[in-house]
Amino acid sequence: MPTLAEHTAQSLDITLTPAQSDAFARYAALLREWNTRMNLTAITGDDEINIRHFLDSLTILKACPFEDGAKVIDVGTGAGFPGIPLRIAQPGLRLTLLEATGKKVTFLEAVIAELQLGSTTTVKARAEEAGQTRPHRAAYDVAIARAVARLPILLEYLLPLVRVGGICIAMKGKTAQTEADDSANALKTLGGQLDRIETFALPGIDEPHNLVIVRKVAHTPARYPRQAGAPAQKPL
């Protein structure tokens, strides 16, 4: 069974240091431990975690290398994916983990403390709330999300959080192109522009892994995001 470092080197041309490999192993151990007390993931095997959580998250660095110091927000991060793997692999990131469920935020704070992840903070809030508050609106270089919502809905969560010129990255499966096609009105309304869709094959995984990359080209109107629940109930 290949190690995570072997997977990243072979699949993504990313080299992990021994300290980074150790951090990923400790993260996996915390995930399994806490998963016995709360529902964090259905994926608990070593190789499954390495591929479906860690390697999957790190495809973002292959598609969109970030500068050190980049401000990144992971929206609806859950157990910390993809944000924490990105922060382990690129320590210079300034990472915000946005999560609305208190128990999951407690887990994230335990991981941050255990792994001593500096420049990493948690925010307990919905995306609709964060996108309308001064510390977060138009404050980030990159907003990312995995398995949160269909793209027309997700863009209303992500685009208000990034500055003009910043990017949003939505991690999607086989529906990526269809969702992108359905997002024309959301993109026009919110100030976004589809940049590209990057496709990756993960070892031993049949279904495609896609990153939908959107660039923010204009300011998002002040009324967006709408109040909590409205983007999902009435997508743009």
The model's pLDDT over 75-95, given as tens digits with 9 standing for 90+, comes to 999 999 999 999 999 999 999
Q: Which fold has domain 67-233?
A: Rossmann fold (3.40.50)
pLDDT tens profile 97-113? 999 999 999 999 999 99
Distance between CA atoms of residues 57 and 12, nearest Å:
11
HSE-CB at 82 with a 13 A cutoff on CA atoms is 26
**Which parts of 64-137 are beta strand (E)?**
71-75, 94-99, 120-124
The pLDDT confidence band at residue 225, using thresholds 50, 70 and 90, is very high
What does the pLDDT average to over 120-145?
A: 97
Length of the chain: 236
**Is the previous residue joined to 135 through a cis bond, with omega within 30 degrees of 0?**
no
pTM: predicted TM-score of the whole model, two decimal places: 0.96
Residue 1 has pLDDT above 80, yes or no: no
Provide φ and ψ at 17, rounded to 5°.
Answer: -75, 165
pLDDT computed for residue 6 by the predictor? 94
Distance between CA atoms of residues 169 and 213, nearest Å:
5
% residues pLDDT > 70 (the chain):
100
Q: Where are the domains of the chain?
A: 67-233
Distance between CA atoms of residues 227 and 236, nearest Å:
14
Cβ atoms within 10 Å, residue 131: 27
What does the pLDDT average to over 23-33?
A: 96
Distance between CA atoms of residues 51 and 183, nearest Å:
29
% residues pLDDT > 90 (the chain):
92
pLDDT tens profile 39-62? 898 888 888 999 999 999 999 999
Inter-axis angle of helices 56-63 and 4-12, nearest 10: 40
Provide φ and ψ at 93, rounded to 5°.
Answer: -70, 145
Q: Please, are residues 225 and 156 in contact by the beta-carbon 8 Å criterion?
A: yes
